[in-house]
Every structure is written in C-alpha cells, then in structure tokens.
Amino acid sequence: MMQRLTLRRLVWRWLGNLLFLELFVRGIPPTLHACPIVCICASDLLSCVNQNLQQVPAMLPSTTSTLDLSHNNLSHLHNHWLATLPRLQVLRISHNQIDRLTARVFHNATHLQHLDLSSNLLVSIKEHFFERLVNLEELLLYNNRITQVDSRVFIHLGSIQKVYLSKNLIESFSFSYLDNLSNPQLRTLDLSSNYFLTLPIDEVTALPMYIKNGLYLHNNPLTCDCTLYNMFLHWNKRGLSSVLDFQEDHTCLYMGLARAVVKLLNHDNRLEKCSLTHGHLPEESLKVIVGSTLLITCNTTLPEEYTSYLWISPSYEFLTYPGNSNQSLKIHMNGSLEIRGIQPWDSGIYLCIAINRRLHQNTTHEVNVTVQFHKYEGEPFNTGLTTLLGCVVSLVLVLMYLYLTPCRCFCCCKKSPTPSPPHECSAQSSILSSTPPATEGPNRKTSSTKHVVFLEPIKEVQNGKIKMAACEEFHDAKNPKILQLKSDSDSVSSVFSDTPFMHT
C-alpha cells in the first residue's frame, strides 16, 4: 500500500514538472495560469481541501484571493511562501498538523483579512508571527495546544475585529495591552474553555465596555471569589453579550475543588452574600429629558495640552474631534461630548478615552445616560383619589339627569283636582287603549285620532280582581291635552272594545 502511494506521488510530481516545462517553453508564466492538479480552481478561488497534502503545492495562481488548504497533513510552512499571491485575502489552514510557525511566514500577506489556523498543534503565539498583517480582521486559533500568548501579539493588528483562542491550554493572558487603543476595532476576544485559575480583575474591569461586551471567559476552572462573582454579576446587569449568551457556562470551583462547581449567575449559590463593592469601576449616571441637549464632560486627570479625545457611543460608534458622520453628536476641543435632540435610543454607556501623547498616558471615563420622557410638575398621580373623584362626578351627573332634565314624554300627567288612589291613575299603568274615552260635559268633541301608548302595565290585585288604569291623550282645539281618569269598568271596556263612545 505504501509503495502504491509513493509511486502515485512520483507520477504526479513528474506530470507537474512536465507541465511546468511545457509552459516555460511556450513562454507562459506558470504562476499566472497554472492550477495545481490536486486542487480545484474557480476564478480567484483555490481549494485544496482533503488531498492528504504534506507540503503546499509549488505552483499557485497569482490571481488567488481565497486559498483553502484545510484537512490535510501539513506540518510546516516556509518563510515567504505567500510571495506569489499578492491578492490573497482569505487563508484557511485548519485541521492540519502545524506545530510551529516561522518568523516570516506571513510577511508577504499584507492584504490578508481572514486567517484560520484552528485545529492544529500550535503551542505558542509570538509577537512577530502576525506583525505584517495590518489588514487582518479575523484570526482563528481555537482548538490548538497553545499555552503561551505574547503580551504584544496583537499590538500591530490595527484592523483586527475577532480573535478566537478558545479550547486551548492558556493559563494567563495580559489584558492591559488591550487598553491602549492599539486595537480600536476589536469586538470579540474568545478565551473560553482554557485553563484560567484566576483573572487579573483590575485589568479586566479597566477594559473599555466595547471589549468587555465580547470578552468570553466561560468554561474556565476559575476559583470562586467575591471579586470574580461581582464582576460577572455587574456584566450581567449591564446586559453584556459575553455573559448573557452563556449564563449557564459561567462557573467557578468552590475552594478550588474540581467537584465543587458553582454557577456564578445562579441565584442559589454560595456567593450571594458577597457585597457588590468590587468587580467594577464606578461610573457616572445622568438622566435627561427626551428632546433636550446634553453636554457630557470627559473627567480625566490628564492636562488638556497634547491630549486627544475619543468617544465610543452605546452602538460602538467611534466619535472624534472635530467631526464625525453622526450630526447629532459633537465633540468639543476640551473633550466634552454634546448630544443634540436626544432620543430614547441614545440611552446607554458612553466611553471617553483621553490620550496624552507627550506623557504617553491614557485614561477612560464612562457615563451612563438614561433618556426619560416629560413628567408634569406638581403632586404625584394618585389613582385612589382620581377614582373617588370620578365616582362623585358620575353621581352628580345622574342626579342632574333625574331632577333637572325637562320632561320629553308623550304623556304628561297632571294632578287631579280631587285626590285619587294611586292605583287609579298612573302613566306607567297604561296598557293598550285603542278607543279614546268620551269627554264629559257639553261642548266637547270627540277626537277622531287614535293613540296607543306602550308602557309596562302595573297590575294590582284587589278583592280578587285585576285593576287596570290607563292614561290617554286627547287633542282638542281649546284643550290640547286632557288627562282622563277611567273607572275600573271603563278601563276594562276600553281594552276590549273598538267602538268609541259618542256624546251628542
């Protein structure tokens, strides 16, 4: 089997040399057009994935912008091996056997933006490995055997945004070098699943908020401590993604015992009695009404001479003097930040960074801004008093409706000259009268118009008989409305009779 593999490699090498010789005879530069036989070329993409390569192919097209060498058996990368790829932007060498890097292995990759060295056998990361990668944005180093990371390894990576160092053997890391604005674009630093026993709390809490928001430290064998607990609790209350995304994975070892795992952000842990006095820097809090103008002072101990100021908004927007893209935010010469027409979405943490080039010092100052809506002056709103007042007003309106509203009914009853029992005349006791009653006395005319009043009848029982009373309306030229009281017999006859009583 081994002889067949060796013979196959010799054949491929002989064919490659033959192709190189043919291109050389024809005068065609091989680095411009030649695609390695074991790879796949598509425009500016070159893929050599899972080809059991032990060395990088000798001839690589110069037009390559993405090179994928992952899942091979590469163990070593030579100096200047990328010299023929001036357009290279993405390089993937994950899942190989690389255990070391030379001093100038990436010196010719100045345009590289994405570098994936994950799942290899790297042990240490030196400063000079990436010093020429000034345009690098993403660096993947997870799942290696890294135990040491130089403190200044990222000092030259001015464009770096994401660094993944999880699942290694790192026990210590210098966080102080991240606080000097050498990496202003850094948003993710993943140090999870390593071997940190303790953390330099002072260095970590001094980091700018935009770095702490993406500083992942979960799944480390940290020893439980009140300062550690207070720091993560403070980050959780501030809503930092590094804590919110992995709440259950932030653990520590009680008394350093491997079996005594305590979840730091669990309410039922032994660290609840720790007072929140450590773990975070004091911050200034300001409350402002929506629509107004706010002026925030950058309180630092540095002199204004030779000092430049940089503000970072809650949305991680960098604001510098004298101008920026956001017209509502303005930085003055003395470092003060002016916010015009402030809105609710302007709430959050504003970070001021002052840098004195002469003294080679820098300080930071955080301000927590809360935007509120207008509140009316005077006594506070009392729900109980308002409810009582509403009830009183409703009662007054009901009484006014009952006693002060004019009568608009079709039948208005007048008092009889002689008192009569209440059951003999009642407008509410009228039932159905289709025949108007005859009027008494001379000179009375009978109305030819029939009126029917639909009211709820009132029935009273007296001596075993049901008594009904009706109040009817008459129209007359001289007496527009006359209320006629009926006797019991008349009422009953008026109900069951359709013939009017005529008087001559």
In a domain, 137, yes or no: yes
Per-residue model confidence as pLDDT tens digits over 74-87: 999 989 899 999 99
| Dist. CA 372–CA 113, nearest whole Å | 42
State whether 122 and 63 are in the same domain.
yes
Nearest to 305 by CA among 275, 335, 328, 327: 335
The CATH number assigned to the domain holding 86 equals 3.80.10.10
Q: Which of 214, 231, 263 is the last residue before a domain boundary?
A: 263
Q: How far apart are CA 99 and CA 96, in angstroms?
A: 9
Residue 12 lies in a domain: no
Q: Closest Cα to residue 46, out of 98, 10, 82?
A: 82
Q: To which H or E segment does residue 132 belong?
A: none
CB atoms within 10 A of CB 208: 20
Does some domain include residue 254?
A: yes
pLDDT category of residue 101 using cuts at 50, 70 and 90:
very high
Whether residues 349 and 463 fall in one domain: no
Same domain, 332 and 472: no
- What is the residue type of 317? E
The CA distance from 234 to 251, in Å, is: 15
Q: For residue 201, what pLDDT band results from cuts at 50, 70 and 90? A: very high
Q: Are residues 355 and 503 in the same domain?
A: no
Measured from the Cβ of residue 201, the count of other Cβ atoms closer than 10 Å reads 17
> Distance between CA atoms of 329 and 338, rounded to whole angstroms?
6
- The reply to whether the predicted model has a pTM over 0.95 is no
| For the ranges 78-82, 192-196, 388-392, 439-443, the one whose mean pLDDT is highest | 192-196
Give the pLDDT score at 471. Answer: 41
Supply the range of the domain harboring residue 169: 38-263
153/98 same-domain check: yes
Q: Is residue 20 part of a domain?
A: no
* Inter-residue contact 126 to 102 (CB < 8 Å): no
CA-wise closest residue to 208 among 142, 281, 259: 281
Residue 73 has pLDDT above 60, yes or no: yes
- Is the confidence at residue 49, as pLDDT, over 50? yes
Kindly state whether residues 115 and 215 are assigned to the same domain.
yes
Is residue 320, in this structure, part of any structural domain at all?
Answer: yes
Tokens at 328, concatenated: 């509502």
Alpha-carbon distance of 63 to 263, in angstroms, equals 51
Residue 428 scores a pLDDT above 70: no
* 248 shares its domain with 358: no
Residue 264 tokens, joined? 């730091």
Residues 89 and 165 in one domain: yes
Same domain, 202 and 231: yes
131 plus 255 within the same structural domain: yes
Q: Which residue type does 423 have?
A: H
Q: Are residues 171 and 201 in the same domain?
A: yes
By residue count, the chain amounts to 504
What domain count does the chain have? 3
